[in-house]
Structure 1
Amino acid sequence: MSHSDDNQPTKFAYWVPNVSGGLVISNIEQRTSHDPQYNVELAQVAEAAGFDYALSQIRFTAGYGADEQHESVSFSHHLLANTTSLKVIAAILPGPWNPALAAKQLSTINILTGGRVAVNIVSGWFRGEFHAIGEHWLDHDERYRRSEEFIRSLRGVWNEDTFSFRGDFYRFNDYALKPKPVDPQPEIFQGGSSRAARDMAARVSDWYFTNGNTPEGLAAQVQDIRAKAAENGRSVKVGINAFAIVRDTEEEAMAVRDEIVAKANPEAVNAFGHEVKNAGKASPEGEGNWAKSTFADLVQYNDGFRSNLIGTPLQVAERIVALKRAGADLILLGFLHFKEEVEYFGRTVIPLVRELEAAGEARAIAAE
């Protein structure tokens, strides 16, 4: 049985390389740059290639291959100013951001770009980063409680004439934001794989991002979140992370994956693994985003290899459709050489996905 909205074509997003080091913690060559001009050209290539969204990353300090980091919201706005249809999802971290400022900032960018900005609320996993900037480190479920209040605050400020709120983390007293965002209002994305993350998404988020996974693993998460969202009278769309290695032959694609892992930076990978597994172990069920990640999974943070989009254009297109059947509405992609591979993906994979989707719809109509 199909879970996702089959009549909606799969949406595609890419990770914005606004931090240095690319998307794999490896010493393999990555023809990818965090340079602003490279990123503007990449956004234009992605838009032409049929991508719907770009996701900027939020990091405040160096670590795990990312020595330099451009701030996400201002960087996102620069990409929006240089594109016409691409939506850019700016990552925001409650703690450093206050919801009143975020609501106003995003509302202004929404107006300036005709509704093309979205937001990804990141609850935080990197304890050292919080310590470095003098932010309190909350325990796992408290981080999600704060994020939920943050999202409720954004929605209230954007939708109510005057907004009042009394939370454990945030307070508003008859606050009137003017002008309000135009439609479409900024969509709210949120990531995580823990129970707290799914529970929060079911209550307040538009989109839930999950780490790379098999169709079976994804389906279990989707069923959980759909049931919880339905109890709240809501629906939540799901995006899954994947690292795409698309080559003319399967052998070439697998060889690239093997080289990435062979040239991985073990100190950085293991330090990253230690940090994120600590964050996950702190969740009540002892399972966070990276609980079952192997060394190879951690080389592409967010378990991108587990989605298995590694092979020929047809193999990758078929696996995308399998993820869609398991409940994915959006595929969030990382690449080794962003500009050239985004172009190749748009030229070779996306048309095959559309053909497979159309064939699936035709079969469904025939079956009815």
Structure 2
Amino acid sequence: MTEVILRLPTGAVPTRGLGPVATDVRGGLYGPLEDAFQTWRAAEIAGLGGVLAPDDPDGEEPWTVATGALRASRHLRVIAEFAPSFATPVYAAKLSATVQRFTEGRLGWKVTVGGDPAARAAQGDPVTGADALRRADEFLTAARGVWHEKPYTFEGDFYRVLEGGFGHPLAGRPFPTVYLSGSTPGELDLSAAHADVHLLRLGDDVEAVRAELDRRAPGREIRLGVELSVSVRHVGQDDGPPEEVSGRWDGFAALGHSVSEGLVGTPAELAAEFDALRRRGVTTFIVEARPALAEAYRLGEHVLPALADLERREAADAR
């Protein structure tokens, strides 16, 4: 089943001003996060698979945004993006078990490894390179351990757990879906051990990554996803890519996107591109689109139905 997940906008939300006349300064139900709230609601109403709260050093704190999105929705699945430096694996697991309990298991984890060393250092995280991969492996191992076993003991280079684990009421909840990414041997090893979904970029060789994961983790099901930016062409558009751009485009960074590679086109054209990737084994699309509120509706009202129609035609042809 193909799922489309909206990457929420990064960066600080602008504050509301009084304007030329006096207004109600209380804002909406969510105050400064009202714009984000509207986007969460749009994603759910439009039938998207979920949203991702990104780990942006200059943006809102992802766990706060993720729990806000879960609280404001009934069916939306929400992914919190974070580095292992966020917390100990035991605390992250306990926090997530509580969230799963109150949201019927709708939380996912996108665990980031590496990145810009200067940006990580600015957040108080000096661990880089091979050590960052080893720490992520220990983090996910220990988190799953305390989640599923009691008592649980773990001895590693970065974490130690002595007879830990959860009892009632936290035990028994589904562990968050784990999203990992990367193309180096170490990153693929990490995904082979822990990922439920391995995320690629648009230009990656899907078949080669599939083969590498199957070789590293025979018999274990790891779904493939793609992180990309999109722009749905519509009448009167003046805030997207240049008019001459169509199909694959690597200039989204100029529009403020964090993912520079993506797709530009009509709903039918984007659906066809998604379907081509689906036929190669990609089942998850994490898309960045701006303005997020409007694009969420365009994706749900136009792109998803076109994609579903292509899938139905394929199923009919196979019968």
TM-score normalised by structure 2 residue count: 0.85
1:115-264 equivalent positions in 2, closer than 5 A: 115-139=105-129, 141-178=130-167, 179-213=169-203, 217-230=205-218, 233-248=219-234, 256-258=240-242
- Residue in structure 2 matched with residue 84 of structure 1 by the alignment: 74
Q: Which runs of 5+ in 2 are unaligned?
A: 15-30
- Residue 182 (structure 1) shift: 4.6
Which of 342, 347, 353 is matched with 2:296 structurally?
A: 342
Asked if the contact 1:110–1:182 (Cα under 8 Å) also holds between the matched residues in 2, the reply is no
Partners of 2:250 and 2:313 lie apart in 1 by: 38
Deviation at 1:133, TM superposition (A): 3.4
Matched AA of 2:7: W
SS at match of 1:91: strand
Q: Compared with structure 1, are the counterparts of its residues 252 and 161 closer, same or farther at alpha carbon in structure 2 (3 Å cutoff)?
A: same
Give the Cα separation in 2 of the matches to 1:220 and 1:105.
36
Letter in 2 for 1:11: E
Distance 2:312 2:74 in 1: 27
Closer, same or farther in 2 for the Cα pair 1:248/1:78, shift >3 Å?
A: closer
What is the match of residue 30 of structure 1?
none
Q: What is the CA distance between 1:330 and its match in structure 2?
A: 0.5
Of 42, 48, 62, which residue of structure 2 is paired with 1:72?
A: 62
TM-superposed CA distance for 1:206, in Å, is: 1.0
User: Does the C-alpha gap of structure 1 residues 181 and 120 become closer, same or farther in structure 2, counting only changes over 3 Å?
Assistant: farther
> In the aligned structure 2, how far is the partner of 1:341 from the partner of 1:98?
36
Judged with a 3 Å threshold, the aligned counterparts in structure 2 of structure 1 residues 298 and 337 are, in CA distance, closer, same or farther, namely closer
Distance 2:56 2:77 in 1: 21
Distance 1:344 1:296 in 2: 21
2:259 matched residue in structure 1? 302
Distance 2:116 2:258 in 1: 13
Letter of the 2:211 partner, please give it: Q
User: What is the CA deviation profile of residues 120-173 of structure 1, one whole-angstrom value per residue up to 9, with x for unaligned ones?
Assistant: 11113121233223322322x221111111111111111112111111211111
Amino acid at match of 1:361: A
Change beyond 3 A, Cα 1:239–1:146 = same
Shifted more, 198-207 versus 125-134: the winner is 125-134
Does the 8 Å CA contact 1:108/1:181 hold for their aligned counterparts? Answer: no
**Cα distance, 1:318 vs. partner?**
0.7
Matched residue SS, 2:251? helix
1:241 aligned partner, one-letter code: E
Higher helix fraction (1 or 2):
1
In structure 1, the gaps of 5 or more residues are 1-8, 23-33, 63-68, 262-293
SS in 2 for 1:256: coil
Count of residues in correspondence between the two structures: 297
Query: What percent identity do the matched residue pairs reach?
Result: 25
Give the Cα separation in 2 of the matches to 1:208 and 1:185.
17
Distance in 2 between the 1:332 and 1:35 partners? 25
The alignment partner of 1:95 has SS state of: helix
2:170 aligns to what SS in structure 1? coil
Specify the code of the residue in structure 2 equivalent to 1:143. Answer: A
- Residue in 2 that maps onto 1:41: 38
Give deviations 1:203-255, integer Å, cap 9, x for gaps.
111111222226xx22322232233222xx31111110121111147x979x9
Q: Cα distance 1:175–1:336, how it changes in 2: closer, same or farther (>3 A)?
A: same
1:259 CA displacement: 7.7
Shift of 1:36: 1.2
The one-character-per-residue Cα deviations of 1:182-207 (angstroms, maximum 9, x if unpaired) are 54331111122322111210111111
Structure 2 match to 1:267 = none
SS at match of 1:143: helix
Structure 1 residue 41, shift from structure 2 partner: 1.2
* Residues 40, 101 of structure 1: alpha-carbon distance in 2 compared, 3 angstrom cutoff: same
Q: How many angstroms apart in 1 are the aligned matches of 2:32 and 2:309?
A: 35
Query: CA 1:259 to 1:144, structure 2 compared with 1: closer, same or farther past 3 Å?
Result: farther
Q: Residue type of the partner of 1:229?
A: A
